Amino acid sequence: MIGVDISSSSVKMVELSEAPKKSGYIVERYTIEALPQDAVTDGNINNLDAVSEALRRAWKRMGTRIKNVSLALPAAAVISKKILLPSGLRENELESQVEAEANQYIPFALEEVNLDFQVIGPSQANPEEMEVLLAASRKANVDDRVATAQAAGLKTIVVDVEPYAAEAAFEQVRVQLPGGAADQCIALVDIGANVMNVNVLRNGQSVYMRDQQIGGAQLTRLIQNAFGLSPEDAEAAKRNGGLPDNYESDVLTPFRENVATEVTRALQFFFTSTQYNEVNYVVLAGGCAALSGLDDAVATRTQVSTLVANPFAQMTLSGRIKPRQLQTDAPALMIACGLAMRRFDPS
């Protein structure tokens, strides 16, 4: 399976294979294909033809024969809820109990939604109960993505949720931290084109999640206004360089400080709305994470150790991969990486 992340700015694809003797993963191929402006907004596909064409181009450039893909929906399109059910239920009993519980939390008729669940494990408060994660989305949200992939000649096997896919890839980052960051709070800050998603994880479990409206598109607009460029030229200059000398001082530095301030605000919200009063690491992901100096700006403002995510750091790279380019692209590939890892799920 190829992991496919359809964001508001681009399509990202990652293909992994298993290393011999199950000693980890091999990064076989990946690609990032830009999307036209407004083809996807707020997680909704507005221009199916443009997105499917980008998928087709990306798949062709990958040079793979695999047509099975795993996709993800944005968190805003999914209702997620942890529920408690009696332990020891059989599969059919579990399904009927989940459906009964779902009626309380889903504001649509059940026939209008795609519903799934996963048993997390025993409840810490009561060993006779188990925690179950319930996830539901309107069928239209799922159908749009599946149809887009189908139009590109691809077959959707899995539809996941973006933060959960990022969490799966984050496990590859967590093992790089001292002691695997056991019993520590880690803020995974994914800064996309328009939205910054903050997901605080502890021992692999999400304990807090929040979205804030800031992202790389804001920097593109600042470049447009400062230097009189078109949106396309501003985006290209942001990625490839070549801007005037005052870009760093007049545009990039204020933007970095703005992002660092928003991360600090997000952590304050976390402290005031949970029992926790400390974050041990900030891990930056998403397209903005690779911006020069952003990790230092966030570390200075938050006073928390900050690093840029690279879920591939301990993976083997195939001969097709350029290590330096992957290092730059890695933080933007968290969701696609997590989706590619679904290929190895026992289920």
- Which helix or strand (DSSP H or E) is residue 12 part of? strand 10-18
Q: Using CA atoms, how far apart are residues 288 and 309, in angstroms rounded to an integer?
A: 11
Q: Given this model, what pLDDT does residue 121 score?
A: 86
pTM of the predicted structure, to 2 decimals: 0.91
Q: Given this model, what pLDDT does residue 219 score?
A: 94
Spans of the chain, pLDDT less than 70 = 346-347
The DSSP result for 30-45, as a single string, is: EEEEE--TTSEETTEE
The alpha carbon torsion through 74, 231, 215, 290 (nearest 10 deg) reads 100
3-state secondary structure string across 236-256:
HHHHHCCCCCCHHHHHHHHHH
Could you give all domains of the chain from N- to C-terminal order, each with its CATH number?
A: 78-139 (3.30.1490.300), 178-309 (3.30.420.40)
**In whole angstroms, what separates CA 179 from the centre of its chain?**
24
Q: Using CA atoms, how far apart are residues 20 and 196, in angstroms rounded to an integer?
A: 37
Q: Given this model, what pLDDT does residue 308 score?
A: 96
Q: Given this model, what pLDDT does residue 306 score?
A: 96
In one-letter notation, the amino acid at residue 203 is N
Q: Provide the 10 A C-beta neighbour count for residue 12.
A: 24
Alpha-carbon torsion 39, 43, 49, 51, what sign? positive
SS3 (DSSP) at 311: coil
Tokens of 193: 């084109």
Nearest to 192 by CA among 217, 173, 223, 159: 217
Q: Using CA atoms, how far apart are residues 282 and 298, in angstroms rounded to an integer?
A: 8
| Tokens 């020891």 sit on residue | 88
**In whole angstroms, what separates CA 64 from the centre of its chain?**
23
